[in-house]
């Protein structure tokens, strides 16, 4: 391995820009980098403005502009006086470059990915293509993902051996890409849905889509039990109006009828612990 590494000559150099939000405190945040690749020098911010806004509120915008100004100045110095000179000439006392590092990269994006991987914990590469509106996580989807994560954590706490069964893939249609399920054991494929009071329509669409996937999984894997574990609020909750409670009951009844048609086990759970119990019992 060392012989292989030694035979690869570095074609890139970089230095990470650190920011000290409170001068003299010693607290530092890596925010950008000055890079040289194939004799081309440029500086890049490697932290998004929205991250700084989350950390510092309205002041985050000014902080991001200050970071960009520092990087632009460093890039200008590097192009006129060299890479090393730029690393020693940070224009503001709260900014400073680390020592230069050499590496090998396939292209600019590969180089930036290496830098982020090695030195940044709060960064997202701005070169990554933005996801489409269909791929962007909606608030409802994020809440559903949080519910799924809580259920899996509850399963793991009681049955650590089932951790190996998380996020497994099954082919549902011959020739098509496999579909990932939260839990797949030799005997069970499980999905997790969430029917919230204020977003019942979206919850119903999500549950129906997941039950359809479960039905396809059962058809292709004979003898496998498929289960839809649906998180629902307790009906005794005094904050739920009669009209909303009636709609919830109606929606659950619809899903139960559809589950029978698709031969899917539908279980309701009010807590992640209850949902975990159902999975463990069927696993």
DSSP track, 7-59: TSPP-EEEEEEEE-SSTTS---EEEEEEEEETTEEEEEE-S-HHHHHHHHTTH
- CA separation for the pair 115, 226 (Å, rounded): 43
253/99: higher pLDDT = 253
Residue 185 pLDDT exceeds 90: yes
238/207: higher pLDDT = 207
Give the mean model confidence (pLDDT) for residues 96-125: 82
Chain segment 197-212, per-residue pLDDT in tens: 778 888 899 999 999 9
- CA separation for the pair 209, 231 (Å, rounded): 16
Give the mean model confidence (pLDDT) for residues 240-267: 91
- In the chain, CATH 3.40.50 sits at 139-282
E runs forming strands in 125-264: 166-170, 179-184, 188-194, 225-231
Class of domain 139-282: alpha beta
25/4: higher pLDDT = 25
If phi over 0 gives left and psi between -120 and 50 gives alpha, with beta otherwise, what is residue 74?
A: alpha
Chain segment 66-101, per-residue pLDDT in tens: 998 899 999 999 899 988 888 887 666 788 898 888
Number of H helices, E strands in the chain: 9, 10
Is this prediction's pTM over 0.75?
Answer: no
Cβ atoms of 204 and 259 within 8 Å: the answer is no
Q: What integer pLDDT is reported at residue 238 of this predicted model?
A: 64
Question: What is the token pair recorded at 243?
Answer: 């009209």
Cβ atoms of 102 and 118 within 8 Å: the answer is no
CA pseudo-torsion sign 214, 217, 218, 224: negative
Residue 222 pLDDT exceeds 80: yes
Q: What integer pLDDT is reported at residue 188 of this predicted model?
A: 94
- CA separation for the pair 229, 70 (Å, rounded): 52
Q: What integer pLDDT is reported at residue 8 of this predicted model?
A: 52
């Amino acid at each position: 391995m060392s012989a292989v590494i030694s035979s690869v000559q570095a074609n890139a150099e970089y230095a990470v820009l650190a920011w000290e939000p409170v001068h003299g405190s010693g607290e530092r945040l890596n925010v950008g980098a000055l890079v040289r690749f194939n004799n081309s020098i440029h500086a890049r911010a490697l932290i998004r403005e929205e991250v700084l806004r989350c950390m510092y509120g309205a002041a985050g915008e000014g902080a991001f502009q200050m970071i960009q100004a520092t990087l632009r100045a460093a890039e200008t110095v590097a192009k006129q006086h060299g890479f090393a000179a730029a690393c020693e000439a940070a224009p503001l006392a709260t900014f400073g470059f680390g020592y230069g590092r050499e590496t090998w990269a396939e292209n600019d994006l590969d180089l930036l990915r290496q830098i982020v991987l090695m030195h940044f914990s709060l960064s997202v590469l701005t070169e990554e293509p933005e996801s489409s509106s269909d791929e962007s996580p909606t608030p409802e989807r994020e809440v559903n993902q949080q519910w799924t994560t809580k259920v899996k954590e509850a399963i793991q706490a009681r049955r650590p051996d089932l951790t190996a069964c998380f996020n497994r893939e099954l082919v549902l249609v011959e020739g098509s890409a496999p579909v990932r399920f939260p839990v797949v054991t030799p005997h069970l494929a499980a999905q997790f849905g969430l029917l919230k009071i204020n977003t019942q329509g979206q919850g119903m669409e999500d549950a129906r889509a997941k039950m359809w996937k479960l039905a396809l999984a059962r058809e292709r894997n004979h003898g496998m039990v498929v289960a839809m574990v649906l998180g629902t609020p307790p009906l005794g909750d005094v904050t739920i109006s009669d009209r909303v409670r009636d709609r919830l009951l109606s929606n659950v009844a619809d899903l139960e009828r559809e589950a029978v048609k698709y031969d899917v086990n539908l279980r309701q759970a009010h807590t992640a612990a209850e949902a975990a119990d159902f999975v463990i019992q069927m696993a």
